[in-house]
Amino acid sequence: MRRKVDVVIIGAGSAGVTALFTLARAGKSFVLINSGEEGSTCTRVGCMPSKALIEAASLHHARERFDEFGLRGAQGVIVDGPAVLARVRAVRDQLVKGVVGRYHQIMDDTQFISGHARIVAPDCVEVNGERIEAGAIIIATGSSPVIPPAFSELGDALLTTDTLFEQTSLPRSLAVVGLGAIGCEMGQALARLGVEVHGFGGRFIAGVKDPVAAEKVIELFGREMSITMGARVVPHLENGQVVIEAGDRRYTVERVLASLGRRPNIGDLGLENLGIELDEHGIPPFDRETLQIGDLPVYIIGDANGYRLILHESADEGQIAALNIIYGKRRPFPRRVRMSVTFTAPQIASVGAQLNELDAETTAIGSASAQMNGRALINGDTDGLIRIYADKQSGRLLGASLAIADGEHMAHWLAMAIGQAMTLDECLTQPFYHPVIEETLRDALQDCLTQTELGLPNPPGLMPGVTMLPAAR
């Protein structure tokens, strides 16, 4: 007899597991199917090992400034590459154990299947030769690194983030091709660990669409690695070394990190059996506020849908899909303010609208640099820049681009302000403590305000209150 459950979840990553917890709490019956290793992209090969590597790199890099602070002897610190990588894996393994343990705790062995799932029909999934009937299907199959054919021919010299953290030693030299989030984070971290890094980017660096902010980012990163933008490089092997030619320059490196983006894992998933037309990337049309595919009882969430390839959005999508299944009818959830943070130094962040999405005529742009910020000067972190975008007429905050220390915190503050539809003068009613780097954010908001029709607040940042008449005695 065929097994029948309320929901089949395909993929035990952050998206699928978030859906699982929500469905389990509501008492739905389920099966979770996962192919390959458990533990999620984020924990195994993504957010966590990459941040662990960045932490080692930042600690090592700090030694360069010790002398300036009157602290001697730091130049004696050396990088023990194998030990650095071993610690990255140890932290990663601990986190993977926690993540996997948590979801196995809420199910028995029959509810988890290790194997490659295929959709046979909108209400049926096949895995390891077994067909399972499902009231609903959640596709949460994640994504994989893009590897163009020429890169595949590099053999062991090719790294992606699937293999980088498994290395037992650091390469002497590395070409990082693709300067998005991964390329910038890993390129800078490895450069700070003593690897000779050459970065090759497309049109944008770290996804920054504001030319002023992008120029600053290129200048700052360019101090630690060579950067070539706009060159579609094709690496090849020569005498066991990788050669990359860009314009009239020729680079010879030991390894190449392909960080050219990620592609949804939708091959051999049986999407054609849904009876629905797929887009040019092979993805079925889905509603971003319900994650439902057409009118089918099928949902596509997380990196698998190629929409917002970041952790908190993947988890949101898991919950939205699960809640739609639980309610049993279409229930749209407006999505959060868009935000991305690249964990480099300085941190690069984009919040809300990017500059290229805004109308130049109606948008006010405010800027501030950390050069004159007291705390930044104390910390030796004055290389920062903030750009704020607002509607010229209403003063409503629309977006921001940051390349500044502590940018992750300011990005959250700005996302909240944009989510609350705040205007610049409303933003400036908030307190900014002293001395904090956030005072640069206040400066940028004030600068932006002067370019709008609202003009300068008087006194700056405070709203006149309602004067209460003394009660008649």
Ligand X SMILES: NC(=O)c1ccc[n+]([C@@H]2O[C@H](COP(=O)([O-])OP(=O)(O)OC[C@H]3O[C@@H](n4cnc5c(N)ncnc54)[C@H](O)[C@@H]3O)[C@@H](O)[C@H]2O)c1
Q: Which residues contact 360 (CB under 8 A, 6 or more apart)?
A: none
Q: Which stretch binds ligand X (CB under 6 A): 26-34, 245-253, 338-346, 463-471?
A: 338-346
CB 387 within 8 A of CB 210: yes
Closer to ligand FAD by Cβ: residue 190 or 427: 190
Least Å distance, CB 308 to ligand X, is 8
Instruction: Report H helices in 68-180.
Output: 81-104, 149-152
**Which of ligand FAD, ligand X, none interacts with 399 (beta carbon under 5 to 8 A by kind)?**
none
Q: Which of residues 288-327 bind ligand X (CB under 6 A)?
A: 309-310
Q: Which of residues 185-244 bind ligand X (CB under 6 A)?
A: 185, 200-204, 207, 232-233
User: Does residue 342 bind ligand X (CB under 6 A)?
Assistant: yes
**Which of ligand FAD, ligand X, none interacts with 116 (beta carbon under 5 to 8 A by kind)?**
ligand FAD
Q: At what angle do helices 14-25 and 311-327 cross, to 10 degrees?
A: 30
Report the DSSP pairing between strands 130-139 and 298-300: parallel
- The token pair that represents 373 in the structure block: 């910020």
Q: Cα(416)–Cα(84) distance, rounded to whole angstroms?
A: 37
294 is in an annotated binding site: no
Among 7, 20, 28, 40, binds ligand FAD (CB under 6 A): 40
Query: Could you tell me which of 388, 402, 407, 404 has the C-alpha nearest to residue 449?
Result: 388
CB 348 within 8 A of CB 47: no
Q: Cα(32)–Cα(38) distance, rounded to whole angstroms?
A: 11
User: Does residue 269 bind ligand FAD (CB under 6 A)?
Assistant: yes
Among 7, 8, 9, 11, binds ligand FAD (CB under 6 A): 11
Q: Phi-psi bin for 421: left (phi > 0), alpha (psi -120 to 50), beta?
A: left
Q: Is 281 a catalytic residue?
A: no
Fill in the per-residue mask, 279 to 318: x = in contact with ligand FAD (CB under 6 A), - = not in contact. -----------------------xxx----xxxx-x----
User: What number of helices (H) and strands (E) belong to the chain?
Assistant: 12, 22
259 is in an annotated binding site: no
Among 54, 99, 140, 233, binds ligand FAD (CB under 6 A): 140
Closer to ligand X by Cβ: residue 262 or 375: 262
Q: Which stretch binds ligand X (CB under 6 A): 60-68, 336-344, 415-423, 457-465?
A: 336-344
Q: Cα(261)–Cα(47) distance, rounded to whole angstroms?
A: 15
Report the DSSP pairing between strands 347-352 and 397-404: antiparallel
Q: Measured at CB, which residue is nearest to ligand X?
A: 180
Query: Could you tell me which of 424, 431, 416, 428 has the C-alpha nearest to residue 448?
Result: 424
User: Does residue 382 bind ligand FAD (CB under 6 A)?
Assistant: no
Query: What is the identity of the amino acid at 389?
Result: Y
Q: Which residues contact 381 (CB under 8 A, 6 or more apart)?
A: 346, 370, 405, 437
Catalytic residues: 434
Residues that bind ligand X (CB under 6 A): 177-183, 185, 200-204, 207, 232-233, 259-262, 309-310, 340-343
Residues that bind ligand FAD (CB under 6 A): 10-16, 33-36, 40-42, 45-47, 50, 116-117, 140-142, 161, 182, 265, 269, 302-304, 309-312, 314
Give binding residues for FAD as ranges. 51, 141-143, 303
Give binding residues as ranges. 51, 141-143, 178-185, 261, 303
